[in-house]
Structure 1
Amino acid sequence: MSERLARAVGRLGRPVLAVWLVALAAAGIAAMPLADHLSGGGWFAPGSQSEQAAEALRTGFADRGASNLTLVVRDERATAGTAPFARRVGRVFREVGADPRLRVSGSYGYASLSEGARDRFVGRDRRTAVTFLALRLDDGTARRVLPRVQADVADRYERDGLKVSMVSAATLFGEVNTLSAEGLARAETIAFPLIVLILLLLYRGVVAALVSFVVSLTAIVPAFGVLGVLARHVELSIFVQNAALMIGLGVSVDYSLFVISRYTEELARGRDRTAALAATLRTSGETVLFSGVIVVLATAALFLVDLNVIRSIALGIIVAVAFAVLGSVVVLPAVLHLLGERVLRGRLPGRRGPGTAGGGRWASAARQVMRRPVVFLTLSVIALGALAVPALGMRTFTPDVRIVPESSPVRYGYDSIGEQFGTGSAAPIQVVVESRAPLTDPAVADRMPALRDRLAGLPDVVRVDSPVETLRAASPGRPFGALEAAAFARLPEDARETVDHFVSADRRKLVLEVVPDDDAAGERARALLTDVREVIRRAAAPDVRMAAGGETAEGVDADRTIQDALPGVLALMLAVIYLVLLVTFRSVFLPLKAIVMNLLSVGATYGALVLVFQHGYGAALLGVEETGHVQNFVPILLLAILFSLSTDYEVFLLSRVREEHEAGASGTESVAAGLARTAPLISGAAVLMIAVFGAFTFTGIVPIQQLGFGLAVAIALDATVIRLVVVPASMRLMGGWNWWLPGRPRPGRAPAAPAESVKV
């Protein structure tokens, strides 16, 4: 088959490349609007209380819209209670509220209330005021529009001594989208020259290095084109662009390295271009194909997680890897056949290529390990296990405002609300009550004040923002009786505005906002959410449905969804990897060994991630931010990607070991020879991967930093400790069982091999 494919590539090479170039042009056009169609959403767990609460709040309220924001204004020149403050701050609220891009449908706060009722919307410093704005913008539109509006208003008023920030999920993730695009550009600026330099050092040839880089890069373009088309029809996370580029570029460069190295090796043996290409496709081409299948199938296991953000990132990775494989086994062979021996041109001084360097040294190191396999294996497992210990204390949560830098106006707005109005004011727990009967019905009305009081009495509650205080002032004996039309019409205008902010127009929905004394991701806020949900569980009735939502609830529900899906994801992933390796190597135990090694590598990577990002060890040195937790989608993505990439190296190494074994080499010699042939390539591929992932670690936003850092650490461990020590030591101890399959002779009955001593 490989020979027929090689001949077909020889005949159709130019048409294949012509079609590829046309596809690249079309994909480039399709990919251009991708960033504008990506969403910061996708975190709601279907059917969860947080989703129910968010859905209930979108309609029916006078000053809550399809999307909402809190406008924060700080006056550096005047203080509250003075005429200049009221005039200056009031002007900002009026002008921003009238901006046609925002399509404001209602407001509540400092700008809408009379002077006597404004005080609770003024901060502790007496210089900061806030107003809640309801927008007639859907979530996706808000994320695209608000960053531009935020930039405009921040610049417009700064010269007058006014700091203006817009605080909302839409502005936060709109800012994240902007920062993500900027980080992507910086990562490309760092990664691309590094990749070219490393490829030159690996190939010691200009033509081979440029072919590898260009083909790898062009494999990303059609992936982004497909994602650009999909983003118009389905919700894709803003993190998909970074993840797809990071993984797609990493595996593309790796795959091209494997293919080009084998092709140049075959040419060096004196084969013509067609025979060299056939041998390359039969060996490295097959390895790349199986590796790509493993990455795609293992990543597809993430679709078991019922969160759109994870499914969309998984989709982006799958598309990127699929095109990386296509580029490596179809487009790259066409280019290589057209170039022939010209791929060897532009040689730099030094060794001939990555597949030939230091073979003796690598083989000697492997033999040293295999002479004392127990010692080396034990020390390696202890070291990896020790690094994995911190992972036992891993805390996860959804991305919050700390993923954007402190210099951002959005971050300033969030921080200001926390400082001026209480730590949890920017992200209260929202208890939404939906009643079949009107809230004025005594059977419902009499229970609502007691519910509010029980919530206010919970630990770590700063306050409960609700209409109950206003209604009690109007009707002490029967507060919710003041919602009846005649009584409501007699209330002061400020009181009516307050009630309408918390009670729907049909008087069947009520919002109680529980403000915690903690950040949304904090332990106390999570514990408070548990208490709140227990209170509303007891208070609920067949005719009254209650749900607790907000940022904390969204994060907790997303975490629970991931944790519930994790066993199924892991089981499916392990089954896929085991079956693919079983088919690839016709061995029962080699796949098991690979899985155990992957688990060790993943555990150690998790430990390093916790040490840096959760505990802050080395965070300043690396230029990353200590967040106190790991982004909740990072561990499960790392699990899928690391199992895939580690299995890539396993396939590449064991394929070469099997070649040597089938050629008649003993167990020890086949491992030593296989390692000698592949270790330079694996090391080079690892350096390339680390360069790509490291670029995103230093330039990306926090979730991408954590993902890039975890991948870089894992690849470094895999290419050193795992491949150079654990693999040869374990294979030496397994002996003939490495290649056992039912129907083959048992290891004890295999043909005798030369005696090999084992030192413990």
Structure 2
Amino acid sequence: MTRFRLPVLLLWLVALVAAGVAALPLADRLSGGGWYVPGSGSQQAVAATRSGFADRGAGGMTVVVRDERNTADSPAFEARVRRAVREVTGDGRLRVAGSYGWTTLSPAHRGPFLGKDGRTAVTLVGLKLDDGTARRVLPGVQKDIDRRWAPEGLRVSLVSAATLFGEINELSREGLTKAELVTFPLLLVILLFLYRGVAAAVVSFVVSATAIVLTLGVMSLLARYVELSVFVENAATMIGLGVSVDYSLFVISRYVDELARGHDRDTALATALRTSGRTVVFSGTVVVLAMSSLFLVDLNVIQSIALGVVVVVAFAVLASVAVLPLVLHLLGERVLWGRLPGRRGRPEERGRRWRGAARHIMRRPVLFLTVAVLATAALAAPSLSLRTFTPDARIVPESSPVRAGFDAMREQFGPGSASPLTVAVTSRTPLDASADGGRLVALRDRLAALPHVVRVDSPLEALRAASPGRPFAALGTAALGRLPGDARATVDHFVSADRRTLVLEVVADDYAAAPSSRALVSSTRSLVDRWASPGLDAVVGGETAEGVDANAAIEKKLPVVVAVMLVVIYLLLLASFRSLLLPLKAIVINLLSLGATYGVLVLVFQHSSVAGLLGFQEFGHLQNFVPALLLAILFSLSTDYEVFLLHRIREEFDGGADNTTSVANGMARTAPLISGAALLMVAVFGAFAFTGIVPIQQLGLGLAVAVALDATVVRLVLVPAAMQLMGAWNWWLPGRRARTSPPVGAEEPAARP
């Protein structure tokens, strides 16, 4: 590496600049979608209504106009609303396919599209834009419309899943900027405290900058060809910062220690790579393999985030063992520049208090183990009531025009009006010639009679005007021609041009994420399945159905993900530690820590009093991808610390020390670094918890809590107490011979000067 340092550094700089340029359009390429499960009912419903309708398209939205100066009985109201809607539908960026609602119907038939306050009117607009493009375009259109009409007393909002997730995209970008503004100064202060030197603290950011910039560049290029979730940028940056500062801390600390022992920079660098470098590679491999298990979940939003984490960790490892050593070699002893007052001390002199604490715990292992397990179990108890679902409009601030539109829809037209269930009925023959008209009417009536249903919007009343006895017979050309224009517009909104697809919109009495709305999806699907016949098929879609399907996909695959991940981690730890029982102990303790983390999240985000106290918003559930991601990330990070600690303990044990002395000395040698690394991670994750949008808040807080628990209760209490009780069984492996060299990834004993 030192022989080819200049070409490698040049290659690194070129790659960094190229990735930085490639990353610039990333935010505009990310999708707010990724929640559709391939082949699910919600995905099929979207496909069935995407084309063939007069005013539906690849996407759709509701234009909500609230006039703060006039009511509907004023001539000015109609003129102002029409101008605002005309401006929206005339915007070339939207590629409007058609519209239906207050501005397209006559006064006699547009009553359902006027709110209870007499000031709010809605018009449904179909778009030719695909979902991803709509999410990129709509935030800009919303801002322009708001600037144009807000000064005139008109609140114009574009309401749809695309506008919601487009707004989430913008908020994610703002949250990321805030988190970075908080994180980098905080990290610098902590690193100055840990290194007690300016140069070493600044050099730590080499790994972070490299890993994050290269990852964002790669994600931007991939997003041109595959759908990547809007959450990937925040998640990759957050995890990238966390692991990068950890990995750089391990390498730089060992390098500085070797310089302090009097070694030259080549020897110091070789030792740092041979010890900390191998630990970083092993730890990064564990993270990558554990996160890869999430690709088994057939949900794009989870696969996107998993991909971002895998790529950023891989680049963090590469930067830690390829780029960082070259920078350290060029700096040499100048890495010690800017030493702060106070004495860092020799490596052998540090950690005495940790050794004493470990011995104190191991003198009463049963007591400490019992207390720690009971305390952790008490924290984990609330996790038994953990509930998950997809995000809804409440994750957007109330000041947002998008949130104002959703709130107006719910206040003026009912809580479920902004996100109705869509029942798409398809027939093998045209509906006007079908003998199943009576069954279609019965389906509409039975849907309306379900619990928590406010109404069912359909073309039935318009068709009865032409054919009272057999409404669907009115779809024939001759009968349809006798219908008034408003009735024909209604029919064309709900029935496809080929007359083979009928849409029924079921409006619930609560939010899309409410338990009653989820129960309604289940009862609607049950009713539809019993009703369907060989000639008629029906699928249920909509925002709530989409969330139900996503939850089901996660729940179905989660046991497999857990099993694969635990097997992979067990085998890696088995190969590293050459012990059958230590990997099992690590997995059991990590599961206990994970349960405690889930319990804290339930207390904070599912209970309004706790959420309000900490400044978070209470939703009654966690975002459905958060528990799965926490599972993979936390097992990965916990395994990092486990490897680092147990390899040190193993060194002592293989060197002839007894079990108690091995654990105490291993704690003394690793606890300062583990505590410092944990402090860095808690700072990173905590910054995202208090600056990001709700899913990132939940993920960030969960990671911060878990790392804090892992570095304190787990590493300082549970591990030494459990290892004391296990005694010689710690290193039991049938047929194992005494180790004469450290395992792969181990920190080798430092040579004495």
Q: Of the candidates 187, 198, 223, which is equivalent to residue 195 of structure 1?
A: 187
Q: Paired residue for 1:392?
A: 384
Contact 2:210 2:315 in 1 (8 A): no
* Residues 328-347 of structure 1 deviation map (CA, whole Å, 9 limit, x = unaligned): 11111112222222212221
Following superposition, the deviation at residue 183 of structure 1 comes to 0.7
1:352 matches 2:344: yes
Q: Paired residue for 1:752?
A: none
Following superposition, the deviation at residue 105 of structure 1 comes to 1.7
Percentage of matched positions with identical amino acids: 68
Contact 1:203 1:354 in 2 (8 A): no
Q: Of the candidates 199, 213, 217, which is equivalent to residue 207 of structure 1?
A: 199
Contact 1:202 1:354 in 2 (8 A): no
Following superposition, the deviation at residue 264 of structure 1 comes to 1.4
Q: Give secondary structure in 1 for the equivalent of 2:422.
A: strand
Following superposition, the deviation at residue 446 of structure 1 comes to 2.2
1:407 matches 2:399: yes
Q: Give secondary structure in 2 for the equivalent of 1:108.
A: strand
Q: Paired residue for 2:246?
A: 254
Q: Of the candidates 253, 269, 282, which is equivalent to residue 277 of structure 1?
A: 269
Q: Paired residue for 1:596?
A: 588
1:33 matches 2:49: no
Following superposition, the deviation at residue 353 of structure 1 comes to 6.3
Distance 1:188 1:245 in 2: 9
| Code of the aligned partner of 1:239 | F
Q: Of the candidates 56, 64, 80, which is equivalent to residue 56 of structure 2?
A: 64
Q: Paired residue for 1:682?
A: 674
Distance 1:170 1:529 in 2: 21
Q: Give secondary structure in 2 for the equivalent of 1:618.
A: helix
* Residues 381-405 of structure 1 deviation map (CA, whole Å, 9 limit, x = unaligned): 1111111111111111011111111
Following superposition, the deviation at residue 278 of structure 1 comes to 2.2
Aligned residue runs from structure 1 range 129-208, under 5 A: 129-208=121-200
Q: Paired residue for 1:421?
A: 413
Distance 1:141 1:215 in 2: 34
Following superposition, the deviation at residue 628 of structure 1 comes to 1.2
1:516 matches 2:508: yes
Distance 1:210 1:123, change over 3 A: same
Distance 2:171 2:648 in 1: 43
Aligned residue runs from structure 1 range 350-749, under 5 A: 350-352=342-344, 358-744=350-736
Worse-superposed segment, 610-619 or 46-55:
610-619
* Residues 99-154 of structure 1 deviation map (CA, whole Å, 9 limit, x = unaligned): 22222121000010011111110001111000001112111111111101101111
Q: Give secondary structure in 1 for the equivalent of 2:736.
A: coil
Q: Give secondary structure in 1 for the equivalent of 2:360.
A: helix
Aligned residue runs from structure 1 range 270-349, under 5 A: 270-349=262-341
CA RMSD of aligned residues (A): 1.4
**TM-score normalised by structure 1 residue count:** 0.96
Distance 2:230 2:348 in 1: 42
Following superposition, the deviation at residue 354 of structure 1 comes to 9.8
Q: Paired residue for 1:3?
A: none
Distance 1:54 1:317 in 2: 30
* Residues 239-260 of structure 1 deviation map (CA, whole Å, 9 limit, x = unaligned): 0000000001110000000111
Distance 1:554 1:234 in 2: 20
Q: Give secondary structure in 1 for the equivalent of 2:35.
A: coil
| Code of the aligned partner of 1:630 | L
Q: Paired residue for 2:14?
A: 22
Contact 1:10 1:338 in 2 (8 A): no
Distance 2:569 2:450 in 1: 48
Distance 1:374 1:186, change over 3 A: same
Distance 2:196 2:737 in 1: 45
Following superposition, the deviation at residue 349 of structure 1 comes to 1.2
Following superposition, the deviation at residue 562 of structure 1 comes to 0.1
1:44 matches 2:17: no
Q: Give secondary structure in 2 for the equivalent of 1:443.
A: coil
Distance 1:478 1:561 in 2: 41
Distance 2:554 2:497 in 1: 37
Distance 1:331 1:481, change over 3 A: same
* Residues 237-295 of structure 1 deviation map (CA, whole Å, 9 limit, x = unaligned): 00000000000111000000011111111222222222222222222111111100000
Following superposition, the deviation at residue 739 of structure 1 comes to 1.2
Q: Give secondary structure in 2 for the equivalent of 1:474.
A: coil
Contact 2:654 2:738 in 1 (8 A): no
* Residues 483-510 of structure 1 deviation map (CA, whole Å, 9 limit, x = unaligned): 1100000001000001111000000000
Following superposition, the deviation at residue 470 of structure 1 comes to 1.7
* Residues 22-49 of structure 1 deviation map (CA, whole Å, 9 limit, x = unaligned): 1101111111111111011111111110
Worse-superposed segment, 269-278 or 654-663:
269-278
Following superposition, the deviation at residue 745 of structure 1 comes to 6.4
Q: Give secondary structure in 2 for the equivalent of 1:63.
A: coil
**TM-score normalised by structure 2 residue count:** 0.97
Following superposition, the deviation at residue 356 of structure 1 comes to 6.2
Distance 1:415 1:654 in 2: 54
Following superposition, the deviation at residue 472 of structure 1 comes to 2.1
Distance 2:370 2:445 in 1: 59
Contact 1:262 1:355 in 2 (8 A): no
Following superposition, the deviation at residue 355 of structure 1 comes to 5.4
* Residues 519-571 of structure 1 deviation map (CA, whole Å, 9 limit, x = unaligned): 11111111111111111101111221110000110000000000000010000
Following superposition, the deviation at residue 606 of structure 1 comes to 0.4
Contact 1:64 1:135 in 2 (8 A): yes
Worse-superposed segment, 619-628 or 180-189:
619-628
Distance 1:662 1:745, change over 3 A: closer
Distance 1:357 1:16, change over 3 A: farther
Which sections of structure 1, spanning at least 5 residues, go unmatched?
Answer: 1-8, 748-760
| Code of the aligned partner of 2:14 | V
Distance 1:745 1:336 in 2: 38
Aligned residue runs from structure 1 range 59-138, under 5 A: 59-138=51-130
Distance 1:216 1:248 in 2: 7
Contact 2:139 2:163 in 1 (8 A): yes
Distance 1:725 1:281 in 2: 30
Which sections of structure 2, spanning at least 5 residues, go unmatched?
Answer: 740-753
* Residues 457-480 of structure 1 deviation map (CA, whole Å, 9 limit, x = unaligned): 111110000111221232111010
* Residues 422-457 of structure 1 deviation map (CA, whole Å, 9 limit, x = unaligned): 110001111000111111134222210010000001
* Residues 305-364 of structure 1 deviation map (CA, whole Å, 9 limit, x = unaligned): 000111011000000000000011111111222222221222111231695675111100
Q: Give secondary structure in 2 for the equivalent of 1:458.
A: coil
* Residues 590-648 of structure 1 deviation map (CA, whole Å, 9 limit, x = unaligned): 11111111101110000001110111343223322111110000000000000000101
Q: Give secondary structure in 2 for the equivalent of 1:133.
A: strand
Contact 2:179 2:691 in 1 (8 A): yes
Following superposition, the deviation at residue 215 of structure 1 comes to 3.0
Q: Give secondary structure in 2 for the equivalent of 1:10.
A: coil
Contact 1:75 1:127 in 2 (8 A): yes
Q: Give secondary structure in 2 for the equivalent of 1:117.
A: coil
Worse-superposed segment, 249-258 or 661-670:
661-670
Q: Paired residue for 2:223?
A: 231
Distance 1:33 1:746 in 2: 56
Contact 1:246 1:692 in 2 (8 A): yes
Q: Give secondary structure in 1 for the equivalent of 2:204.
A: helix
